[in-house]
Structure 1
Amino acid sequence: MSVTQSLLLLSLLILFSSFFALAEIALAASRPLKLRQMSDEGSDKAQRVIEVQKNPGNYLTVVQIGMNALAILGGIVGEGVLSPPLTELLANYLPTAHAATLGFVISFVVTTSLFIVITDLIPKQVAMAIPEHLALRVIGPMRLLNTLLKPLVMLYVWLANSLIRLFNLPNRREELITPGDILAMTEAGAQAGTLAASEQQVIENIFELETRTLPSAMTHRDSVVFFLHDDPDEVVRSRIASEPHSAYPVCDGDIDHIIGYVTIKDLFQRVLSDKPISLTDPTLIHKPLVVPDRLTLAEVLKQYRQAGETFALILNEYSMLVGLITLNDVMSIVMGDLVSPWYEEQIVRRDEHSWLIDGITPIQDVRRALEIDSIPHDDEYETLAGFLMTMLRRVPKRTDRVVWGDYTFEVMDVDNYRIDQVMATRNQRPGAEDAKLAT
């Protein structure tokens, strides 16, 4: 075989070996979700790739047969075409035995380097960049090779499966996608610019519904606007004009004895029809949806759907009303910054290192705004006020402080034992690991 023929054969061996490297990484790196989307759009090749991913034994066996056979042949051809001229050249400067040894070593290094760079590094990096596109292109030739090499493939697959069973090794990939995986992908998409930051935040908020309990989003007891069942017409009209809401609890004597609720729609119909409003009228009163305060926001959405309601009263374990929540409250948590807040912001940034925060602000919102990774006993409270009470082990007073991590939380205002305003300040030096309390 001439030198030209040998070089052409070596080039073909390198080219075919590159194909197998591409095929291997393209299959492994292809995303099942992307492939399913392509399959749903009518791609038969995408469906074939999905089937191979579920049981890749034969496919990988063909890859390994091809890569190893070609590498061995490439080594033989490369040594045969490069070693003689190198030996002859080196013989002019070295003894014949040394020249032959060094010529073989150089030819081996050159051939191996060509295979490493051209048949391994370059194809695999390209396949990692566009795996699905390449997987669809190579699936046809790989199926043909699998058919041609079937006896050999079956032998190697049987041997491999026998050893896997013998050593109890895993041989299938679980296609389990967790919420953490989805959040990680959306965060990567936001960083890459393919997903808007606000859209990524909405997705994160949706998953947060599974962990946030009702007190983190409800209207608290002290802020609930309600009617007594014997309130006269003028009182009802005055209150809905000064404090408009979608629904109002109707109580007997006090807020802990709830009869039902009335909607602003029904009240407006009476006003527009010039009819008197009497809360003793049973046609005005709706039976309320009552839920415990330990439910999550996701669970209350299920309750809304089952009851056909968008308004719920929240009771604690002592059957006392602690607040109420509407569907709009839950959706405000989901939409976050995408909706224009009609209420006063609960977290107001004063400068680069300080924030003024309402005591009833959900602790998740505080952590997000201040970029705090973890807080102690986070399963014992829902709000910033609860955090301060837990750390101080008492009802805070004005000027009380809690130092945690890199932040100092100082109580600025207390209204009838309710923590009204808290100043959060970022410390100039790294914070201690444990909380430090000061009054």
Structure 2
Amino acid sequence: MFDLLGIGALIAISAIFAMSEIAMAASRKIKLRVMADEGANNAQAVLDLQERPGAFFAMIQIALNAIAILGGIIGEQALTPYIRDLVGYFYTGHLLDQISFFVSFLTLTSLFILFADLLPKRLAMIMPEAVAIRVVTPMRWVTFALTPFVMFFNGLTNIVLRVFKFPTEREDIVTTEDIVAMMDAGAEYGSLPQQEYQLIGNVFELDSRSLSSVMTPRDQIVYFDADESSEEISQKIIEHPHNDFLVCDGSLDKLQGIIESKEILRLVLKGEPANITPDMIDKDIFYLPETLTLSESLNAFKVASQPFAVVVNEYALIVGIVTVKDLLSSFMGELITHEAEEQIVRRDEYSWLIDGLTSINDVDRCLDVDDFPARSQYETIAGFMIYMLKRLPKRTDHVIFSGYKFEVIDLEGVRVEQLLVTKLDVNA
């Protein structure tokens, strides 16, 4: 009876060590840091142990191997007589002892595999942090008690690792890919709302998207000519109620400065004609190169404290304008642009109308096409069409890619206004 109790105790102790091993290895540092900040006991101790796990794992292996040896010795003595009596009811030949020993060995091994290995490790994998903070203190005591053996085997292990030029300590660096993977898992299981998932995903794209993907392109810029009549100026303000306008001398390439619409409205309210005088023009123009990323552009706006910027190319030609709102909308999306016209409109289950200036990242998320070729060569779906066709698109030009048909249905000059995207093989 004492032997059977000893086997049960060894299985229980082995289960604790097995749970500790898996829990320490599987515990997530980010969650442990959150638990530590919230005051969870022993969370910081688990983090400290994970930083230098060598002694801990040496202790675990010493303990598990010692328990396995003891289990074999005690188990043979404890179970074999009972197994021999049981087998004796069915077989009494000269192989009775060998059969009894084999059945005893198989039974003991099965008990250890099930209750000392599989079950505790499964539990530790399911809730690693909860298990780790409960076992870390007793595991540290055991490590201290086995210090001579731990130091010996841990030292040998470090020597072998250094000989083969492997690192002796684990470095946990949380990468963007790790965070994205956690976001994907959270969105899949519903713990991360879809709106928050898209918002966080957009933030990670700030360093990969260029300024040209969100700016108002040159051909859509509304500006004042310094020689325009009062009626023309008033009509532009009525049709395009912006806060600020560029003032040019004949064309955008002869930019004179910026004027606030309220300066003109003040004249109108006084009963005077809506004319532009030199003293009304602000010549302090904020320029940004089109090669900047969205993240760099946000930082530039933070330093300059300007409401909008004129975007220029490498030849100092104006290619567009961008506002702080344009940059914020690149990752805030519908939270601040709900009043704007949607760039992607779903016609039915298998087709979409997409504005030509829609970011290729937004198209990717909508259609779940993550293998657009040469992504660095273009920013918009119109750029994708130009890249694929190797020329400026014409109406009805189309491209078949990744199970979708991308067809140009509207042009303004040479600019792609709108595409019809249709999913092919819908019955496949």
Report the TM-score when normalising by structure 1.
0.91
Moved more, 273-282 or 219-228: 273-282
Deviation of 1:418 after TM superposition, in Å, equals 2.0
Deviation of 1:361 after TM superposition, in Å, equals 2.0
Where does residue 104 of structure 1 map in the other structure? Answer: 101
Cα distance in 1 for partners of 2:270, 2:191 equals: 53
Deviation of 1:51 after TM superposition, in Å, equals 1.1
Choose from 42, 50, 75 the match for 2:39.
42
Deviation of 1:423 after TM superposition, in Å, equals 1.6
The letter for the 2-side match of 1:39 is A
Choose from 258, 261, 272 the match for 2:258.
261
Moved more, 370-379 or 275-284: 275-284
Q: Is the 8 A contact 1:219 1:325 kept in 2?
A: yes
Give the direction of change, closer, same or farther, for the CA distance of 1:107–1:236 in structure 2 (3 Å limit).
same
Q: Please, which runs of 5 or more residues in structure 1 have no aligned partner?
A: 432-439
Cα distance in 2 for partners of 1:312, 1:179 equals: 30
The letter for the 1-side match of 2:112 is F
Cα distance in 2 for partners of 1:24, 1:430 equals: 50
Q: Is the 8 A contact 1:213 1:382 kept in 2?
A: yes
Q: Residue deviations 1:137-168, cap 9 Å, x none?
A: 11111111122111121111112112211222
Query: Could you say what secondary structure the match of 1:119 adopts?
Result: helix
Give the direction of change, closer, same or farther, for the CA distance of 1:248–1:170 in structure 2 (3 Å limit).
same
Give the direction of change, closer, same or farther, for the CA distance of 1:270–1:46 in structure 2 (3 Å limit).
farther
The letter for the 2-side match of 1:146 is T
Is 1:162 matched with 2:162?
no
Alignment of 1:375-394 (within 5 A): 375-394=372-391
Deviation of 1:281 after TM superposition, in Å, equals 4.1
Q: Is the 8 A contact 1:279 1:285 kept in 2?
A: no
Is 1:220 matched with 2:217?
yes
Cα distance in 2 for partners of 1:282, 1:17 equals: 86
Q: Is the 8 A contact 2:224 2:245 kept in 1?
A: yes
Cα distance in 1 for partners of 2:364, 2:229 equals: 45
The letter for the 1-side match of 2:150 is V
Cα distance in 1 for partners of 2:39, 2:273 equals: 63
Query: Could you say what secondary structure the match of 1:245 adopts?
Result: coil
The letter for the 1-side match of 2:103 is I
Moved more, 245-254 or 8-17: 245-254
Q: Is the 8 A contact 1:367 1:373 kept in 2?
A: yes
Give the direction of change, closer, same or farther, for the CA distance of 1:124–1:92 in structure 2 (3 Å limit).
closer
Deviation of 1:264 after TM superposition, in Å, equals 4.5
Alignment of 1:199-218 (within 5 A): 199-218=196-215
Q: Is the 8 A contact 1:198 1:338 kept in 2?
A: no
Deviation of 1:429 after TM superposition, in Å, equals 7.2
Query: Could you say what secondary structure the match of 1:379 adopts?
Result: helix
Where does residue 226 of structure 2 map in the other structure? Answer: 229
Query: Could you say what secondary structure the match of 2:251 adopts?
Result: coil
Moved more, 211-220 or 161-170: 161-170
Is 1:285 matched with 2:244?
no
Report the TM-score when normalising by structure 2.
0.93
Deviation of 1:233 after TM superposition, in Å, equals 5.1
Cα distance in 2 for partners of 1:29, 1:38 equals: 15
Where does residue 349 of structure 1 map in the other structure? Answer: 346
Give the direction of change, closer, same or farther, for the CA distance of 1:149–1:269 in structure 2 (3 Å limit).
farther
Q: Is the 8 A contact 1:88 1:99 kept in 2?
A: no
Q: Percent of aligned positions with the same letter in both sequences?
A: 43
Q: Residue deviations 1:15-47, cap 9 Å, x none?
A: 111110111111111111111222223345222
Moved more, 279-288 or 367-376: 279-288
Choose from 182, 189, 192 the match for 2:186.
189
The letter for the 1-side match of 2:362 is D
Where does residue 316 of structure 1 map in the other structure? Answer: 313
The letter for the 1-side match of 2:250 is G
Q: Please, which runs of 5 or more residues in structure 2 have no aligned partner?
A: none
Is 1:86 matched with 2:83?
yes
Give the direction of change, closer, same or farther, for the CA distance of 1:142–1:275 in structure 2 (3 Å limit).
farther
Q: Residue deviations 1:301-354, cap 9 Å, x none?
A: 111112122311111222221111111111112112334522222222222222
Deviation of 1:94 after TM superposition, in Å, equals 3.1
Cα distance in 2 for partners of 1:145, 1:266 equals: 79
Give the direction of change, closer, same or farther, for the CA distance of 1:75–1:337 in structure 2 (3 Å limit).
farther
Deviation of 1:198 after TM superposition, in Å, equals 0.9
The letter for the 2-side match of 1:78 is G
The letter for the 1-side match of 2:332 is M
Is 1:250 matched with 2:254?
no
Deviation of 1:68 after TM superposition, in Å, equals 1.1
Give the direction of change, closer, same or farther, for the CA distance of 1:13–1:399 in structure 2 (3 Å limit).
same
Q: Is the 8 A contact 2:54 2:169 kept in 1?
A: no
Moved more, 128-137 or 388-397: 388-397
Q: Tell me the number of residue pairs that the alignment of Structure 1 and Structure 2 aligns.
A: 428
Give the direction of change, closer, same or farther, for the CA distance of 1:223–1:108 in structure 2 (3 Å limit).
same
Cα distance in 1 for partners of 2:121, 2:405 equals: 50
Q: Is the 8 A contact 2:264 2:276 kept in 1?
A: no
Moved more, 379-388 or 87-96: 87-96
Where does residue 8 of structure 1 map in the other structure? Answer: 5
Deviation of 1:270 after TM superposition, in Å, equals 6.1
Cα distance in 2 for partners of 1:183, 1:273 equals: 57
Where does residue 436 of structure 1 map in the other structure? Answer: none
Q: Is the 8 A contact 1:405 1:430 kept in 2?
A: no
Choose from 45, 70, 79 the match for 2:67.
70
Deviation of 1:115 after TM superposition, in Å, equals 0.8
Deviation of 1:11 after TM superposition, in Å, equals 0.8
Cα distance in 2 for partners of 1:367, 1:35 equals: 34
Query: Could you say what secondary structure the match of 2:80 adopts?
Result: helix
Give the direction of change, closer, same or farther, for the CA distance of 1:139–1:263 in structure 2 (3 Å limit).
farther
Is 1:306 matched with 2:315?
no
Give the direction of change, closer, same or farther, for the CA distance of 1:424–1:61 in structure 2 (3 Å limit).
same
Q: Is the 8 A contact 1:198 1:337 kept in 2?
A: no
Where does residue 413 of structure 2 map in the other structure? Answer: 416
Query: Could you say what secondary structure the match of 1:66 adopts?
Result: helix
Query: Could you say what secondary structure the match of 1:174 adopts?
Result: coil
